[in-house]
Amino acid sequence: MSTHDFEVVWPLARHAQAGVPTSVQPTRPRAALDLNSATVAFLWTYNRKGDRMYDIMKGTLRGEYPDIQFVDYDAFGNIHGASEREVVAAIPQMLKQHKADVAVIGVAG
Q: CATH number, domain at 102?
A: 3.40.50
Report the pLDDT value the prediction gives residue 49, as an integer from 0 to 100.
Answer: 79
Binning pLDDT at 50, 70 and 90, where does residue 90 land? very high
Nearest alpha carbon to residue 47 among 81, 94, 88, 85: 81
Provide the whole-model pTM: 0.67
In the three-class reduction of DSSP (H, G, I as helix; E, B as strand; rest coil), residue 84 is classed as: helix
Higher pLDDT, 20 or 84: 84
E strand map for the chain = 39-44, 69-71, 102-106
Range of the domain at 94: 35-106
91 within domain boundaries: yes
Give the chain's domain count.
Answer: 1
How far is residue 45 from each of residues 5, 8, 33, 78, measured CA to CA in Å?
41, 34, 26, 5
- The mean per-residue pLDDT over the stretch 49-53 comes to 82
71 within domain boundaries: yes
